[in-house]
Amino acid sequence: MDLGQHATLPADLRYIQYEHVLEARYLPAIRSLISKDLSEPYSIYVYRYFLCQWAHLCFMALNPEDSSLIGVIICKLEVHSSHSPPTRRGYIAMLAVAAPYRGYGVATSLVKMAIDAMAKRNADEIVLETEETNIPAMRLYERLGFLRSKKLHRYYLNGSSAYRLVLLLKPFDPSLAPDDEDGQIL
């Protein structure tokens, strides 16, 4: 379905949480959609790693006319022990929206759903990486409060660099951070 420049997105666009029973119907479409948008080639096992363990943090946007997939976000939430005390770190692994549906807020809605789901599960922060040349993604995440924390040179297999973006969901308490012998926070 080509929406064209002046078409509008259906008002009753359906957003649903991924469930394991949907794998046969939607996993091929998820893989196809993501492979068009993201530079990394992911195997079926990578998708299952996320979708089987964290289905409750993965959401899909469906066309109300035929229930076809138009957008997806795939996330996880784990304890990140490199901080002291350990933090609950959410991670947005993949986000994709079919080209004709971009610019209508679908990606924003998916990211907000993921943020809310992780916040309800007591996440301290949410991180992700995006190619430094992906200006629309950078704008989307920064508009939602994510901050650039690090540049990752030649991060992707195609040689592109990335930015790591972080959204702090809970205030950082410097008194809990380890320090070196000079009193500097590490």
Q: Kindly state whether residue 176 falls inside one of the protein's structural domains.
A: no
Contact criterion met (CB below 8 Å) for 164 and 146: no
- pLDDT interval class at 6 (50, 70, 90): very low
Q: Kindly state whether residue 185 falls inside one of the protein's structural domains.
A: no
Q: Which domain holds residue 64?
A: 14-171
Say if residue 2's pLDDT is above 80. no
The mean of the pLDDT values for the chain is 86
Say if residue 4's pLDDT is above 70. no
The answer to whether the predicted template modeling score (pTM) of the entire model surpasses 0.75 is yes
Question: Looking at residue 176, what is its pLDDT?
Answer: 52
Q: Kindly state whether residue 72 falls inside one of the protein's structural domains.
A: yes
CATH number at residue 60: 3.40.630.30
Say if residue 32's pLDDT is above 90. yes
- pLDDT interval class at 94 (50, 70, 90): very high
Question: Looking at residue 159, what is its pLDDT?
Answer: 81
Q: Are strands 147-152 and 162-168 parallel, antiparallel or unpaired?
A: antiparallel
Kindly report, residue by residue over 119-164, the tens digit of the pLDDT: 999 999 999 999 999 999 999 999 999 999 999 888 777 888 899 9
List CB contacts of 116: < 8 A, sequence separation 6 or more: none
Which regions of the chain does DSSP assign to beta strands (E)? 14-17, 59-62, 69-80, 87-97, 125-131, 147-152, 162-168
Query: How many structural domains does the chain have?
Result: 1
Question: Looking at residue 69, what is its pLDDT?
Answer: 96
